[in-house]
A and B are shown apart, each in its own frame.
Chain A
Amino acid sequence: MQVRFVNKGNILIASLSGELDHHSAEYLRIKLDMEIIKATVKNVVFDFSKLIFMDSSGVGVIIGRYRNVQKLKGKMAIACANQQIGRILEMSGIIRVVPLFNSLSEAVQWAS
């Protein structure tokens, strides 16, 4: 699992690649929390275009970060999830508050 960060205005874009499971969740959690503090942004967009697998551990990470972002009255969105990941996100109900978009530009526009 790898994560790359890009700042775009008041948005932190986190691009994930590889597989997000319980094994990689802790690494991602630490990386995200550090970067959110460092970047001093309140909105976060996840780019899942290169994420090939995610299970419920990933949902736990997203919900945890959403709680932090929400405290700062920030917004969070996800872009480009594959079919397997999309199903898990839908089942979790998280997409009611962290919406899922088909393109990164739509997600960025929504979070701006």
Chain B
Amino acid sequence: MEDDLLKENGRQPVNSAVIEFQSKSNNEGFARVIAAAFVSQLDPTLEEIADVKTAVSEAVTNAIIHGYEGRQGSVRMECVLYEDSVVISISDKGKGISDIEQARQPLYTSRPDLERSGMGFTIMETFMDRLEVFSKPGEGTTVTLYKIFKSLA
């Protein structure tokens, strides 16, 4: 049943928003606040909002650190709201991930030099209901996060 919900099954979105911003670390907080404010219109619990903020923070940080490796670029966040759920896609046009399976391994990091914990994908998976990663080396990465607000379902 949960899977059916996540497939959207022809259900109509109730709202959507797209925002594009520079790959600057200041925008990590900006993206979190935007995503939190957007899902708030459904009136989920504070814990559910915190889950969304955490996952968005991880995805946007990955785009900035790993996608663009600190260089300037643009990060796009698309939010689609359903009656009791949200789908958030975060895309960059950075270097891409050559081995997605390896990148998703808990504690794996391509940048141990930066004191990265390697927990980003694990946190996204744990705090959301589903996570999809599409990436092409040299073209970029899109991470899609799915969250069902169980308080509303």
A residues touching B (Cβ–Cβ < 8 Å)?
Answer: 19, 21-23, 25, 29, 53, 55-57, 59-61, 63-64, 83-84, 87-88, 91-92
B28 within 8 A of A: yes
Smallest Cβ-Cβ distance to B27: which chain A residue: A23
Given known pairs A53-B32, A55-B54, A91-B126, the reply for A21 and B117 (CB within 8 Å) is no
Task: Pick from B57-65, B81-89, B97-105, B135-143 the stretch touching chain A.
Answer: B57-65
Q: A21-B32, A84-B54 are in contact. List 13 more A-B contacts (CB 8 A).
A: A21-B61, A22-B61, A23-B25, A23-B26, A29-B115, A53-B50, A53-B57, A57-B116, A59-B117, A83-B50, A88-B54, A91-B119, A91-B122
* CB <8 Å contact, B58 and A56: yes
* CB <8 Å contact, B58 and A19: no
- Complex Cα distance, B70 from A19, in Å, reads 21
**Range of interface residues on B (Cβ < 8 Å):** 20 to 34
Could you say which of B26, B28, B50, B114 contacts A84, with CB atoms under 8 Å apart? B50
Could you say which of B47, B53, B61, B122 contacts A57, with CB atoms under 8 Å apart? B61
Contacts of B57 in A (CB 8 A): 21, 53, 55
* CB <8 Å contact, A56 and B53: no
Contacts of B120 in A (CB 8 A): 56
16 A-B interface contacts by CB (under 8 A): A22-B28, A29-B115, A53-B53, A53-B54, A55-B58, A57-B117, A60-B115, A60-B116, A61-B115, A84-B50, A87-B126, A88-B54, A88-B123, A91-B126, A92-B117, A92-B119
Could you say which of A19, A22, A29, A83 contacts B65, with CB atoms under 8 Å apart? A22
Contacts of B53 in A (CB 8 A): 53, 84
Contacts of B127 in A (CB 8 A): 87
Given known pairs A55-B57, A83-B50, A84-B54, the reply for A19 and B119 (CB within 8 Å) is no
- Complex Cα distance, B57 from A25, in Å, reads 13
